[in-house]
Structures are given as C-alpha cells and as structure tokens.
Amino acid sequence: MSNLAFERAGTFWRGNLHTHSTLSDGVLPPEEVCRRYRAEGYDFISLTDHMVGLYDYPIARTEAFRGDGFSTILGAELHSGAMENGEIWHILAVGLPHDFAPSNTPDFAARDDQESGAGLAQRARDAGAFVAVAHPEWSGLTTADARTIEAAHAVEVYNHGCAVGCDRPHGFYTLDQLLTEGRRLTLCATDDAHFSEPDHFGGWVMVKAEENDPDALVEALKDGAFYASTGPEIRGVHWEEDAVMVESSAVAAVVLQARGSASHAVHGSSMTRTRVEYGRAASSPWMRVTVVDAAGRRAWCNPHYRG
C-alpha cells in the first residue's frame, strides 16, 4: 500500500503554508512576499497574517498575485483563548474565505471571555480551511492542550522561523502522542516567514494535485496527499507486509518511527531506493518515515495507519 501522495494522479506543487507580511508583524508587503517566493521557485504560498485586532483582523487578499504558474491560498494565523501555560493559541488556517468572522482577540493577550482555541479551530474547519496546530514546541504546548483541538487536520512538525529564532522548531512529540491516542493526523513543515531574520525558504510542503489551483491544493492538503521537507525529495513510499520501501533523492538515512520507542534506521551513501524492515514497529497502529540527506536536511511522509 502506498501513501496517497504517491498513488493519486497529479503533479507535486511546492508551497509554504505559514507566512507573514506588513499586514501583521512581517517586514515586507504582501506583493513582495509573493514575488520572493515565486522567484525562489515556489508554486504557491498562503499568506497567513495574525488575525488579531491589533492589525485590524487581516486576511490577505492575494488573488492579484496569482498567475504565470504561481498560486496563492487565502489564510490566517488564528488566535483566541488560553493554553495551559496562559498564553494565547496559535492555529494555522489555510483556505479561509475572505469574510471569515474574526474572534474577539484585540491583541496577543488571552482573555477569559474569548472563544476557545478548540472552538476557533472548529469554525475554521467548518469554513473550509485546512487546520494545523502551529509550532507546538515554540508555544510550550502540552499534550492536554493539543488533545482539545479535535478539528485539526495536521500538526506543524517543523517551523523554520522557530528553528532560526529560538531553536524550538519541532512538533513531533505532540504529533506522535496524538497518533498513539488514536488521532489520525498529517504533518507539515513551514517557514513562518517574517523576513526580519533568515526565516524563509527553509521548510515546505509538496502537495499532489492535478492543478496548481487554490481549491485543488486545499482539498489535497485535507486528503493528506502531500509530504513535508527541508530539502530532500520523497518519490515513493510503499508499505509492504514486513517492510517499507522508500524512493527518494540521494539520502544518507531512512528512519522508520512508530509508537513508543519503536524505530528502525538504515544508513548509507547516496541511497535512492531503501528498504526498512518494521522490526518492533510491526505492532504499532501507525508508522511514519523520515529521510535525511548528507547535509542533515530532512523530509517526512505523512503517517501510515494499519487497520
């Protein structure tokens, strides 16, 4: 059995799902952000400015910057309610309608009378968005926090801005805990670019769709027809009875991860077709794969569920 990203018809489109502009706390105007991503060879981006009253609750209207093989998806980073540490929620919503009703979030301070993070995420999903729990490690998110966001499609497992700014880029622990509890989620890598530091062009998704069209891209994201990367390409993942076969660009390691401590890695040089046996992971209800190139850059396939 192959992952959906590799078995469905279409083309892989490279995109960033988490970006900011001068409409919130970024340093470049929306048109320049789009120009730079297009110049770097991206097929699409979602400009996801902070939807708080401090910035007049923006949803960036980027339709004018589409064309010549480049697309944009309307979106926002949503905020409302308090996590266990008292800080406000950060929820990524890609594919929002331009008239999505804002929450009562004047600034980045949590308030007792606010809509909950869970409620806001559900509203975004009901409005048609692909919803992801943003930068769990940076936020200090607990598993109990994450458990409440039942509307999430994905967890942001790599955030390049958080890697550059504070060395807290990951969300794998959050993802794996939820997977073990029976949640079926995907994973995404993003930039969270503000262009105030080298926080751009470092993490992306490769989305399989028949057209580079906002609606087609969002539906593919919801379906899980994508993988995440900071460099390597994943060209195929085939789940066999006792092993997974991974086709990729040249890599130095392929690692299988599963429930608890179960894992198995194969190391080598310039590997492009790698078989990894399940070993102790065979009893896990879920598995996922990481590939690592010689420079230490990584790519991740979405989890595979057994049964």
Do 217 and 247 lie in one domain? The reply is no
Domain boundary among the residues 210, 228, 246 is at 228
Residues 145 and 129 in one domain: yes
Q: Residue 204 belongs to a domain with what CATH number? A: 3.20.20.140
Per-residue DSSP letter, 114:
S
Residue 198 has pLDDT above 90, yes or no: yes
Residue 89: pLDDT over 70 = yes
pLDDT for the residue 306 = 85
Instruction: Give percent of the chain with pLDDT exceeding 90.
Output: 98
What does pLDDT average to over the chain? 97
Number of domains in the chain: 2
Could you say which of 160, 193, 228 is where a domain stops?
228
Token match 């049964």: residue?
A: 307
Instruction: Dump pLDDT digits (tens) for 61-80.
Output: 999 999 999 999 999 999 99
Residue 181 φ/ψ, nearest 5 degrees: -80, 0
Torsion angle defined by CA atoms of residues 276, 278, 284 and 285, in that order, rounded to the nearest 10 degrees = 60
- 68 and 168 share a domain? yes
Q: How far apart are the first and last CA of the chain?
A: 12
185 and 66, same structural domain? yes
Quick one: 26 and 11 in the same domain? yes
Q: Is 124 helix (H, G, I), strand (E, B) or coil?
A: helix
Regarding whether 107 and 181 lie in a shared domain, the answer is: yes
Distance in angstroms (rounded) separating the CA atoms of residues 16 and 21: 14
Kindly state whether residues 139 and 158 are assigned to the same domain.
Answer: yes
Residues 189 and 299 in one domain: no
Identify whether residues 119 and 180 lie together within a single domain: yes
- This prediction's pTM: 0.97
Residues above pLDDT 70, as percent of the chain: 99
- For residue 223, the model assigns a pLDDT of 97
CATH code for position 253: 2.60.40
- Say if residue 158 is in the same domain as residue 196: yes
Instruction: Report phi then psi at 214, rounded to 5.
Output: -55, -45
Mean pLDDT to the nearest integer, 39-60? 98
> Do both 185 and 64 map to the same domain?
yes
pLDDT digits 0-9 by tens, 109-158:
999 999 999 999 999 999 999 999 999 999 999 999 999 999 999 999 99
Q: What range does the domain containing 210 cover?
A: 4-228
- Assess whether 166 and 257 both reside in one domain: no
Domain end marker among 208, 228, 248: 228
Look at residues 265, 266, 267, 263 and name the one whose alpha carbon lies nearest to residue 286: 263
pLDDT attached to residue 1:
53
Instruction: State the pLDDT at residue 2.
Output: 62
**Contact present, 231 and 255 (Cβ < 8 Å):** no
